[in-house]
Structure 1
Amino acid sequence: MRTLITGGTVVSMDPAIGDLGRGDVLITDGVITEIADRIEAADAEVIDATGRIVLPGFVDTHRHTWQTAFRGLGADWSFEDYLIAVHGTVKPHYQPEDVYLGNLLGRLEALHSGVTTMFDWFHAALTPAHADAALAGLRDAPGRSIFGYGAGYRTEERIAAEVRRVHSGVSAGGLVTLALALRGPGEAPMGTVAEDVQLADELGLRTTVHVDGLNGNRPITELMRRDLLRDTTTFVHGNGLADDELRMIADAGASVSISPDVELKMGFGWPETGRMLAAGLRPALSIDDCPAVGGDMFSTMRTTLSAQRGLDGGLSSRDVLSFATVDGAHACGLGSQIGSLTPGKAADIILVRADDLTMFPLNHPAGALVTAGHPGLVDTVLVAGRVVKRDGVLVDVDLTALKARLLESRDRIAAAAGIAVDGTWSPS
């Protein structure tokens, strides 16, 4: 099967190809096979990209998707408020069906806004059924997803048997794959951290972990001392990490993910974008949690650019677009498969309307995407060559029914927890 995307402004994110003011992209059996000014493919299904920017889908490297039902509730929360509210108050009342709906609707929202690959950082596995439901929610959304199994926040329970069980049911070659969301130094005893890392080594899983250097913490040094620093680990946030610890991450070949909106508003400090770049790291981007911030990559890119330019003026919109595509793919271990429009890579592609008044006239495509883009402009989304959103609408999804189920889920949890969802409840 062949598909031809024709007549769009192509932002390939591949230096060898560059940008095409008017270009075509040919897809064969889900793989990009040609990019050129004009391509003749009489037998191909045609997608008219006139007035559209054609670019690789976004990669979100860290999202707690199960919390979707409480979107916006944490707009005014500190991090401690978040811990009390989400982990202490509502999570104990989650049933597997609630997790399923949060993951499904959250993953669909991400697809709707152009996130073709998403790392689901899951830490609500109250029972095996909760983990299975979270995985099912990702599978029922037509996106490329990584299920990051986590033991919970600040827990010491042993998870090896459960992770092996989940691992046995996840195919390494499918659209939904498995990783391990580690408990890091400061969240669990180092013996527990070591067990988690060794489990990931045994199963061949990539890992991700929240870290910071606030209050003098030196988590990377702790990992290095115990030979637990891996090139397959993504370190999330990293606010306050010392310069030498950032260099340790870079020297190990590991990656970093920043969540600038959450980091700024919840008191983590300035996103460490510039310091990471200076240490030889290319940060990937992530949403983190939708109770506190919006779920789209456009907002995240905009904050990333504004925050760092406000500090030193040393970041470009092209850099930030790379964080959201190429560098995100690398952080997920998928750099050879996705992240740029390159022949031989999977056709994870989005078309963004450039003829909308918020983008018109289109002069500097990367700059326009980062500074003026928003989810309402995402016209078409393809994952592995399959169209999952067309003309601004998700394909073959009964959103009316799913929304009704998510509202029922939210109301049941809120009633059981005894909280209001109109913004009047304060966790602290």
Structure 2
Amino acid sequence: MTTLIKNGIVVDTEPEPVVFGQVDVRVEGGLIAEVGPDLPEVPGAEVIDATGMIVLPGFVDSHRHTWQAGIRAIAPDITFGGYLQRILGELAPGYRPEDVYAGNLAGALECLDAGITTLLDWSHVQFTPEHTDSAVRALRESGIRAIFGYCHGGPRENLLKEGRRVHDEHFGTAGLVSMAIAALGPEIVSEEDALEEWRLARELDLPVTAHLGGHNRESATKGLAFLSANGLLAPRTTYVHANHYSDDQLKLIADSGGGVSVSPIDEMALGIGYPISGRARAAGVPTSFSIDTVTCAPGDMFSLMRTAFALERGRPDGQGLGFRARDALRMATIEGAEVVGLGDTVGSLRVGKQADLVLLRTGTLGMAAAHDPIGAVVLNADTSAVDTVLVAGQTVKRDGRLLRHDVTEVLARLAESARAVTAPRS
């Protein structure tokens, strides 16, 4: 199938964000085939009139606990310790497989609705195989491009066996949904258990994403030393909430080929530490954005870009004034793709890449007369601007409406789940 996106204000992100101006984008077989002015129409092609819209690569969320969509804003003023107790200690154990499905489906559709076309689902609610199967099924049915971050939640002695089962049953063939190991890591579990997590990742040739560097300076240093001593300071490793690493330690991560996932709103709100968007990028580490959890933060990329931009620009003595709107956009697109291991697949408009695209309306009072399209995306746009979304060339949202799901039914299922998981337990 061929799709021709005509007359949009096209923004690319590789190697750096740039505004092409009013040009066309041709998609063939799910891939970006051509970007240029006045492209000829192809017989039988779907034509999308993007006049007055900004066309850009889809956003990438590199770390999101998607299953928590049904407990949105349940703890807006909570601390990190309170989150661990309330969300993971009290609410998570009450989740049934059907609740995981409802949360993952609604959460993934929330991403698509907001222009997030690639999601790393950091799923730490795998209490039974049925929980896991429900999470993966929901991701596949949503139509999003996803990396399922498998965090083993059962008895630790079953980690290797269950991890292999998940891989073999769900990820034996290529598709929009792939797998990573979401490791608890040496700052949360024992070093022996952490080694088992990395052993499984190496056996299955999977990337690793772990919460590393987010507790305190001592824990960050000890965890990084553990990785180095065991030959685990390696590519295809994502360091989530890496706030407490020094600049020299961030350079070690950069030299190893690792990436960083920053949650600017949650990290500030939960007291995890000041986000390191600028420091990590200055050290040469590919740096991405993470929604993390909607229990105490918004679920869209526009909020994160604005927050990171303001936090960096507002550093004392003007230290962050070199951080630009285009840096925030790059983190939300191509750098996010690099961090999750899909830099050659999505994140920019390079010919041959998968056509994961977002079209943003500019004909609104909040977006009209914007002189810098990149600045408008980062500083002015919100989810209401998202008109059209494509994943692998397939249109999943058009004219502001998701096409492949009955959203009313999805929301009803989510509401029922929310009542069940928050009901008082005797």
TM-score, normalising length from structure 2?
A: 0.95
2:422 alignment partner in structure 1: 414
Describe the shift of the 1:16–1:150 C-alpha distance in structure 2 as closer, same or farther (beyond 3 A).
closer
Letter in 2 for 1:145: A
1:246 alignment partner in structure 2: 250
How do residues 5-404 of structure 1 correspond to structure 2 at under 5 angstroms?
Answer: 5-15=5-15, 18-43=18-43, 44-152=45-153, 156=156, 158-169=158-169, 170-212=171-213, 214-217=216-219, 218=221, 219-311=223-315, 312=319, 313-404=321-412
Q: Partner of 2:349: helix, strand, or coil? A: coil
1:426 alignment partner in structure 2: none
Q: Partner of 1:388: helix, strand, or coil? A: strand
After superposition, the C-alpha distances for 1:78-101 in whole angstroms (9 at most, x for unaligned) are 111111111111111110000000
C-alpha displacement of 1:229 = 1.5
- Are 2:16 and 2:330, in contact at CA under 8 Å, matched by a contact in 1? no
- CA distance in 2 between counterparts of 1:42 and 1:243 reads 52
* Identity among equivalent pairs (%): 45
C-alpha displacement of 1:157 = 5.0
Letter in 2 for 1:216: E
- Are 1:119 and 1:148, in contact at CA under 8 Å, matched by a contact in 2? yes
C-alpha displacement of 1:242 = 2.0
C-alpha displacement of 1:282 = 2.6
- CA distance in 2 between counterparts of 1:354 and 1:284 reads 26
Q: Partner of 2:126: helix, strand, or coil? A: coil
Q: Partner of 2:125: helix, strand, or coil? A: coil
- CA distance in 1 between counterparts of 2:420 and 2:18 reads 51
C-alpha displacement of 1:146 = 0.7
1:421 alignment partner in structure 2: none
- CA distance in 1 between counterparts of 2:237 and 2:197 reads 12
- CA distance in 1 between counterparts of 2:355 and 2:172 reads 20
Unpaired segments of 5 or more residues in structure 2?
none
**Aligned length, in residue pairs:** 417
Unpaired segments of 5 or more residues in structure 1?
419-428
- CA distance in 2 between counterparts of 1:211 and 1:75 reads 24
Q: Partner of 1:159: helix, strand, or coil? A: helix
Q: Pairwise CA RMSD of aligned residues?
A: 1.5
Q: Partner of 2:314: helix, strand, or coil? A: helix
Describe the shift of the 1:414–1:16 C-alpha distance in structure 2 as closer, same or farther (beyond 3 A).
closer
TM-score, normalising length from structure 1?
A: 0.95
- CA distance in 2 between counterparts of 1:335 and 1:186 reads 28
- Are 1:13 and 1:341, in contact at CA under 8 Å, matched by a contact in 2? yes
Letter in 2 for 1:73: I
Letter in 2 for 1:11: V
- CA distance in 2 between counterparts of 1:173 and 1:381 reads 22
